[in-house]
Amino acid sequence: MTTQPEAPGQSQLPPMRTIGELRAALTMGYGFPGDADDFEAELAREINHADPADLSGVVRVVEEFRGRVVARRDPEFDTAVAAAVAGIRKTRESGR
């Protein structure tokens, strides 16, 4: 099997096909600070309160934290956040 080369400006994402792989990615620091602990706490809470026939809460947690890893590895993420913060500050200052 060959791997596709990274597109310019994209960071390599870790494998996240399973909960174990997602857990490993978060533990290795691919998400935001504190995500590994937050993931474990939210996952445990959802599992402990889930109806065995409805694990949609578990799915939601997994999807959320996968998204956080993807967002954090996106090289344009920090730029977008900085632009949003600047826009909020400008709006607040013009309202004074």
Tens of pLDDT, residue by residue over 45-70, are 999 999 999 999 999 999 999 999 99
Is the distance from CB of 62 to CB of 22 less than 8 angstroms? yes
* 32: CB partners within 8 A, 6+ apart: 68, 72
What is the reported pLDDT for 2? 40
Question: What's the rounded Cα separation, in Å, for the pair 61 and 22?
Answer: 11
Dump pLDDT digits (tens) for 69-89: 999 989 898 888 889 999 999
